[in-house]
């Protein structure tokens, strides 16, 4: 019987820890060790951990000064002796048959995935979440490229192919240790995503299950629900790591697709991390990489109010690899801005540009502009409205 190491990182979770540990000591699978890593808790978590470690011989307790979850998981992984490893957050819990069922699904594979049941703090709202990728076994020489292609965003849909978290998955310990070392960048976001991505580079076989055993408590105070000051700079680090890893492991042909999907995910996640009221302002002012796809293209700006001027400054002054060929604003026709004379719907200008970016906020106004552009031979594929769903269309 293969041995499974369950690693739990503990930080001020006295309210939930008993339920978590009870779900582990009552697993139907017998050959497990439970490794508790206390990441500097200042509540009664240590007392609870020591009580369980005293009662159960397969529970091992370790303390470290507060260094963050990734550090705690890494140190726990180095202490582990199992063939496989499962990560569990101390405020979550798992079904009693989780380990036995997952290990019994498909022989000796490198990673087994499952879904989770999301619960609010009151326990009154529950929903099941599982991988979008179809259930079944995937091997490196057969369907593995499909996994890599759809891991980040599934078939161009607004969901990830594989859940990008460590929980809900059973990993081989040796590969998990290497993936942890590859992904250890000292960042506060996307730690799980980067770990799972690096693990996929090492794995040769995966079994995807849509069964849900893991109960995930949606804590509004967690890092995923809080402001991250350095979100964009850390996101760039993750981006660079992903692209270089793809190249190093011989997956160069996947790089363009991952680039586009990275930009999409950044736009979608900016409001929750950066607390911007207007997602487009966030992209415009803080993430020039978003326009990488428009390199070498000729752009005309339609609408030269506050948003149009902000876009102009970015494109013309900050990102010169995009060719700004003109500015259109009927209300400001004939006015001069820097070296540009603002035009109306000038035929030569419309024919010269690859894209017209509409910067107006009002949907009805944008629709009217779009119809007028269509009448002058600019089809929808060349029109970008500076709003999330339309901006994303050029990247996917």
Q: Where are the beta strands (DSSP E) in the chain?
A: 4-10, 32-39, 59-64, 84-89, 93-94, 111-119, 126-129, 136-139, 169-172, 205-217, 298-302, 323-328, 336-337, 340-341, 355-358, 383-385
In the chain, pLDDT over 90 holds for what percent of residues? 50
* pLDDT on residue 65: 95
In this prediction, residue 277 has a pLDDT band, given cuts at 50, 70 and 90, of very low
User: What's the DSSP call for residue 98?
Assistant: H
Q: Cβ(139)–Cβ(123) under 8 Å?
A: no
Residues 201 and 317 in one domain: no
Residue 225 within any structural domain of the chain: no
Give the CATH number for residue 304.
3.40.50.720
In this prediction, residue 176 has a pLDDT band, given cuts at 50, 70 and 90, of very high
- The count of structural domains within the chain is 3
Decide which of 393 and 201 is more confident.
201
Decide which of 372 and 218 is more confident.
372
Residues 238 and 157 in one domain: no
Query: If you average pLDDT over each of 84-93, 186-195, 271-280, which comes out highest?
Result: 84-93
* pLDDT on residue 61: 97
Residue 88 within any structural domain of the chain: yes
Residues 251 and 319 in one domain: no
In the chain, pLDDT over 70 holds for what percent of residues? 80
What pLDDT digit, counting tens, does each position of 284-331 carry? 443 444 456 677 888 899 998 877 887 787 676 656 678 889 999 988
User: What's the DSSP call for residue 134?
Assistant: P
**CA-based end-to-end distance of the chain:** 46
**Which residues form the domain of 368?**
293-393
Residue 286 within any structural domain of the chain: no
Element (H, E) at 110: none
* pLDDT on residue 280: 45
Residue 288 within any structural domain of the chain: no
Measured CA to CA, the distance from residue 286 to residue 271 in angstroms comes to 12
Mean pLDDT of the chain: 83
Residues 311 and 206 in one domain: no
Residues 354 and 209 in one domain: no
Residues 125 and 183 in one domain: yes
Measured CA to CA, the distance from residue 388 to residue 396 in angstroms comes to 13
* pLDDT on residue 396: 38
Decide which of 33 and 106 is more confident.
33
Residues 203 and 114 in one domain: yes
Give the CATH number for residue 24.
3.90.550.10
User: What's the DSSP call for residue 130?
Assistant: -
* pLDDT on residue 287: 44
What pLDDT digit, counting tens, does each position of 352-395 carry? 998 898 888 677 888 899 899 999 999 888 887 765 444 444 33
Phi and psi at residue 285, to the nearest 5°:
-90, -25
Residue 287 within any structural domain of the chain: no
Residue 226 within any structural domain of the chain: no
């Amino acid at each position: 019987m293969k041995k499974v190491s369950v690693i739990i990182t503990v930080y001020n979770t006295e309210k939930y820890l008993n339920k978590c540990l009870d779900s582990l000591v009552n697993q139907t699978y017998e050959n497990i060790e439970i490794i508790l890593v206390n990441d500097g808790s200042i509540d009664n978590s240590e007392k609870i951990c020591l009580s369980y470690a005293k009662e159960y011989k397969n529970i091992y307790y370790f303390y470290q000064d507060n260094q963050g979850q990734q550090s705690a998981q890494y140190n726990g992984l180095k202490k582990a002796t199992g063939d496989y490893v499962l990560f569990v957050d101390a405020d979550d819990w798992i079904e009693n048959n989780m380990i036995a069922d997952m290990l019994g699904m498909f022989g000796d594979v490198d990673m087994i995935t499952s879904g989770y049941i999301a619960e609010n703090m009151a326990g009154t709202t529950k929903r099941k979440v599982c991988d979008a990728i179809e259930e079944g076994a995937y091997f490196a020489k057969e369907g593995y490229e499909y996994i890599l292609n759809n891991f980040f965003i599934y078939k161009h849909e607004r969901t990830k192919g594989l859940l990008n978290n460590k929980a809900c998955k059973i990993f081989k310990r040796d590969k998990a240790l290497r993936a942890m070392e590859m992904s250890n960048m000292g960042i506060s976001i996307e730690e799980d995503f980067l770990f799972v991505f690096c693990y996929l580079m090492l794995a040769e076989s995966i079994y995807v299950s849509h069964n849900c055993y893991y109960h995930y408590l949606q804590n509004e105070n967690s890092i995923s629900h809080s402001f991250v000051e350095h979100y964009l700079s850390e996101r760039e680090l993750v981006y660079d790591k992903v692209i270089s890893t793809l190249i190093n492991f011989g997956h160069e042909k996947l790089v363009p697709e991952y680039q586009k999907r990275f930009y999409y995910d950044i736009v979608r996640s900016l409001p929750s991390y950066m607390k911007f009221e207007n997602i487009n302002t966030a992209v415009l002012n803080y993430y020039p990489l978003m326009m990488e796809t428009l390199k070498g293209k000729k752009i005309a700006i339609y609408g030269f109010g506050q948003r149009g001027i902000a876009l102009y400054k970015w494109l013309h002054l900050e990102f010169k690899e995009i060719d700004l060929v003109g500015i259109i604003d009927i209300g400001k026709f004939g006015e001069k801005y820097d070296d540009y004379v603002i035009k109306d719907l000038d035929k030569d200008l419309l024919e010269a540009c690859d894209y017209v970016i509409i910067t107006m906020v009002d949907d009805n106004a944008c629709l009217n502009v779009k119809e007028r552009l269509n009448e002058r031979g600019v089809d929808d594929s060349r029109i970008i409205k500076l709003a999330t769903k339309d901006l994303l269309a050029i990247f996917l």
